[in-house]
Structure 1
Amino acid sequence: MARTSRSYDWGFPRWRPYGEQGREAANVRLCDRQGCEEPGTCPAPKAPNSPERWYFCEKHAAEYNRGWNYFEGLSEEEAKQREANERRDASGFADSAHYGWAGPGDGTRSRDEMRALDILELDSDADFDAVRASWRRLAKENHPDKRPDDAEAAKRFHAIQAAYDVLKSVEERRQWKPG
């Protein structure tokens, strides 16, 4: 069955008539921050697990989120478990880490790597040669054979070893190219 009338606007809405859309004022919700006149387009919970929401402008939503503690109310063990679960679920993003798109010290190192660098007394942009040199120096200073009765030195030695293992595995992953 053929159409009785043909539209010549070719899908361009500006060529269509205004139709029944009135010229009434649109309701705009303002930002809930005192004294702000911007539209409140970003909902934020008033309390954890509450259906009630504040509505902020983008600037005040960023200010609100800056103070938000995602792990509030969780024990340290529960917080670590949740973080581990979320890291596991986001593992697809880690697949591109071996390409080394950016240099060291610019946000490409993980929290564990940064802790390991702190233990080895290095800056965040240290290369692996500096890691190896620092590891050797600190391991010699704190080795249990050199300080047999010092329990603190033994703890530091184990921490230094663990830090080196973390950074060594990261370096091996960066060296590995998928084939």
Structure 2
Amino acid sequence: MVGARRTNDWGFPRWRGYGSSREATTVRICDRHGCEEKGDCPAPKAPHSKERWYFCQRHAAEYNSKWDYFEGLDKAERAARAKTEQTENAGYAEAQHYGWATSGDGSRSADEMRALEVLGLEGDADSAAIKKAWREKAKLVHPDVKPGDKDAAAEFQKLQLAYEVLKAAEERREWRG
């Protein structure tokens, strides 16, 4: 048995990995000077060039952070290009409802988020914080405090409506379990 190679499958060929071998693989290093990370993110060296830099993820993010799609265009050309992009990609707009539209965990509706904005709160505010903010703001513009002030009355109505929207949403959540 001279020249026979020994394998690690102990007679069970299915234990071998597909395409696996013991040879060393070549790993490209990041092209950023001094970086020793794996360079697996290609970036063009110049516009319309086939030559590429290969950066690690951190340096690729740094490279792309200063990228401006509208660089070198005047205001009218920017608007025209943006409108063209929007019309050409309008077919993808129907999928926007799958993403988060606002901050928070995605459990609040757009109306609730607007109501929280009126009260000056973040998307993750709880019912106690909502009630506290509503009381503090309502005390300042209540019609009994500022009689005859139409602006204060309008602001109070806006605060009242925001609080009612949030209170009804909280009751729905509690009812659902």
Shorter-normalised TM-score: what interval? Answer: 0.3 to 0.5
Taking structure 2 as the reference length, what is the TM-score of the superposition? 0.46
Greater RCO structure (CA 8 Å; 6+ sep): 1
- Greater gyration radius: 2
Taking structure 1 as the reference length, what is the TM-score of the superposition? 0.46
